[in-house]
Amino acid sequence: MTLANSPAPVPLVDRARELRTGLFVLVVLTAGAYLPSPLYPAYQDAFAVSDLAMTLIYATFALVSAPALLLFGSASDVMGPRSVLRISIALAAIGSACFAFASGLEWLLVARAAQGLALGAVTGAASSLISERTSGRVSGAVLASTAFVAGTAAGPIAGGALAEYAPAPHVLPFLLHLVLLGIGWRRVAKLTGSAPQTGRWTPTRPQIPPGTRVVFASAAATGFLAWTVAGLFLAVIPALLDRSAQGDQAVIGAILGAVLICSVLTQPLVPRLGARNAQLTGLGALLASLVLLAGGAGGSVPITLLAAVVAGAGHGLAYGGAAAAVDAVAPAGERGAITGALHLAFYLGAGLPAIAVGLVALGHPLATATSWVTAFAAALVPLAGAAVVLAGPGGDRADQRRTASLSCWSWDSSRGARRRPGHRSRSRSSWRTSSRCRCAEWCSPVASRAGRCSRGRTPSCTSPGTSAPCG
C-alpha cells in the first residue's frame, strides 16, 4: 500500500475508542460461540442424539471456522475492519437466533456453522484492528489473545449459570447475546479510518513470508496443542461431568470457565517471560493437565477442576506466547492474513480432537475414548517444545526491536517533555536518538498535540516523511 492510498492517521482519542470497540466485539463473539458448551448434555437428552453427533456439532464450529479464516483472513487488509466486523456480527446473530429457537439436531448444526463463520471472519479483522489501535508498549497480540480467551471463558460460565438458575434456560442466554450483538453493531458503525479498496479481495492462501516461517510453524504447533486441551474441555468433558455433577449445568460451566479464566490470568505474564519461554512453560503445564485427563479425571469433579486450572495456566502461556511470537515478526501490511493463518491452526486444534473422540467412542466408552486421545496429544507436547527451542528467540528479538524503536524516539520540547539520559534536544521540534535505535520519530509541538507525527528513519534506513500516529 502506498502513502497516497493510506488512510489518514486516527487521532489518539479515536484510537482508544476503536481499541475498546475491537475488544468488545471480539469478546462478545467468542462468548457467543462458547455459550452453548455447558448445554450440550441437555441438548443430547432433549433431541436423543449419540455421543458422536454431539461431538460433530461442536466440531462443526471448528471445521467451518477454518475455511472462514482463509476466506476472510485478508479481507480487513483490503476492505477495512468495519465491513468485516459487520458481516461477523450478522452471522453471529443468525447463530444465536437458531440456538434460541432450536427444535432439533439440524438447528444446532446450522447455529454452529453460522457461529464458526462469524468467529472465523472476526478473528483477523478484530485482531488487526486491536494491533493497529494499540499504542505504547502494550502488545496488541496480548490484548487480542486475552480478549479472545476472556470471551471463551465468559460464554460457558454465563451459559451454565443462566441454564441452571434462570427461566427459559435454552432461550434466554441467546436472547441476551443478541442484545450484546446489537450494541456491538452500533459501536462498529462509528469506526473511522477504514482502509480504502486498494485491490481485489480474494480468499487468503496460508502463505507465510519466508522470514517468519520457522517462528510461525513452532507457534502454530504450540497453539494447536493449547486449543486441543481447551477443545477437549469444551466439547467432551461436559458429557463426562454430566454424570458426576448430577446434571448441574452451573458446575459444568464453572469448570469449563476455570480453564479460560486461568488462561486470561496467565497471559499478562507473556511479555515478562518472553514469547519463547512462555510457550515452553505453557507446554509443560498442558502436559501435566493431559496426564490427569488421560488417567480418567473426567469422572471426578475435584480432579477435573485441578486439571482445568493447570490446563488454563498452560493454555494462557502457550497460546499467548504463540500469538506474541508471530505478531512480533509479522509485516504490518500482512498482519491480518498471518493472524488468520495462525488461528487456522488454533481452530483445527480445538475441533479435530473432538472428532477423534467421537469416532473412537463408536466402539468404546466415551471415557476410554477421551483417555486415548488425550494420551496421544500428550505424546505430541515434547515435539512441539522441541520445535519452539529449534525456532530460537526470533519472536523475542523482533519484539525487543519494536519496543526499542518506540521507547528511543519521542518528541522533546520545553513544555513538560520527558528527557532521558543520553538524549539531546536542539529545539522544540527535534530529532532524538540513542545508540540502540535505528528508526526515528519526529513530532512538532502542533502535530504532537494533534496526536500525529512523522515517522522517519536514520541514514541506515530510509528518508523521513511517512505519516504515523504519535506514541
CATH architecture of 12-194+212-399: Up-down Bundle (1.20)
Residue 160, phi then psi, degrees to nearest 5? -65, -45
Return the pLDDT at 138. 60
Return the pLDDT at 309. 94
The residue among 138, 95, 88, 99 whose CA lies nearest residue 113 is: 95
The residue among 271, 289, 273 whose CA lies nearest residue 225 is: 289
Tens of pLDDT, residue by residue, the chain (471 residues): 444 444 445 555 577 888 889 899 999 999 999 898 888 888 888 888 877 787 778 778 877 887 887 777 667 667 778 888 999 999 999 999 999 998 888 999 999 999 999 988 888 788 878 877 776 556 677 788 788 888 888 888 898 889 888 888 889 999 999 999 999 999 998 887 555 455 566 665 667 878 888 999 999 999 999 999 998 888 888 888 876 655 677 888 888 889 988 998 998 899 899 999 999 999 999 999 999 888 765 667 888 889 999 999 999 999 989 988 988 888 876 776 787 778 788 878 888 888 888 888 888 888 888 889 999 999 999 999 999 999 877 555 555 444 444 334 333 333 344 444 444 443 333 333 333 333 333 333 333 334 444 443 333 333 333 333 333
d(CA 85, CA 190): 12
Q: How crowded is the C-beta side of 209, counted as CA atoms within 13 Å?
A: 14
Does the predicted TM-score (pTM) go above 0.85?
Answer: no
CA angle in degrees (0–180, nearest 5) for 270-89-1 = 65
Listed in order, the ranges of the chain carrying CATH 1.20.1250.20 are: 12-194+212-399
Amino acid identity of residue 9, one-letter, is P
d(CA 319, CA 306): 20
